[in-house]
Amino acid sequence: MQRKECRMKKGIWFEDEKEDEPKKASIRHGCGTLFKIFAVGIVSCMNTDNNDSTAEINRVRRHTSPEVLEKIDQRTEDNIRFYSSEPAAVISRRIRALEAEWSIERWLETNASALAFTGTMLGLTVSKKWLAIPLIVTGFLFQHAVQGWCPPVPVLRRRGVRTRGEIDEEKFALKILRGDFKDLNADLADQIAYIRQLIDAVKAG
């Protein structure tokens, strides 16, 4: 049986030319997910605040409907697949865009502060009834901080707004593709090499 040789910086990986199609399809489908898993691990190694980020992801995701979660995750995986075949300059532009992307927390904080400020000003100048607005808004923020949910969250999630942790998963996956972690320890380097093998399988398919 003929073999196709996929050369990489570390080692050589052989793929059977007649590899089972369902297996190849499974590799393609799982590629983005694997990148996200290892990206989270890299974030954990590099960011001392990752525990808070992980807790925030879990809280929001627990209160997001399965259909919306599937769409958000699929978007991330599709982005990773697309940029896996792009040059480093294009990947860098995407990373900059991700760093500027507004997370759900930023949307909530901005809208809440604007409403609270408006309600306070109207309460002081027009009618004290308007003071109910900042009271309600701060209650929503407290609920979100504790539970990861408040009434605006489902609306924002249906529009595809991601948490900062979800955005970082894509960002660090793209950094792996760009080669930012070449000097990490051998174990993590081997894991990244395996992911790149999967990328080669996707391209070869």
Total tally of structural domains belonging to the chain: 2
What's the pLDDT score for residue 2? 39
Residues in a beta bridge with 7: 12
Q: Are residues 74 and 155 in the same domain?
A: no
Query: pTM for the whole thing?
Result: 0.65
> How far is Cα 163 from Cα 98, in angstroms, rounded to an integer?
12
Is 175 a member of any domain? Answer: yes
Measured CA to CA, the distance from residue 165 to residue 182 in angstroms comes to 23
Contact 108, 152 (CB under 8 A): yes
Residues 177 and 146 occupy one common structural domain: no
Predicted confidence at residue 149, as pLDDT, reads: 86
Do 168 and 94 lie in one domain? The reply is: yes
Co-location of 95 and 173 in the same domain: yes
Residue 9 structure tokens: 């910086």
Domain that holds residue 156: 102-161
Element of type H or E holding 16: strand 12-16
Same domain for 88 and 143: no
Print pLDDT tens along the chain (205 aa). 433 333 333 333 333 433 444 443 443 444 444 454 444 444 444 443 455 555 556 788 888 999 999 999 999 999 999 998 899 999 999 999 999 999 999 999 999 999 999 999 999 999 999 999 999 999 998 888 888 888 999 999 999 999 998 999 999 899 988 888 766 555 666 666 666 666 666 556 5
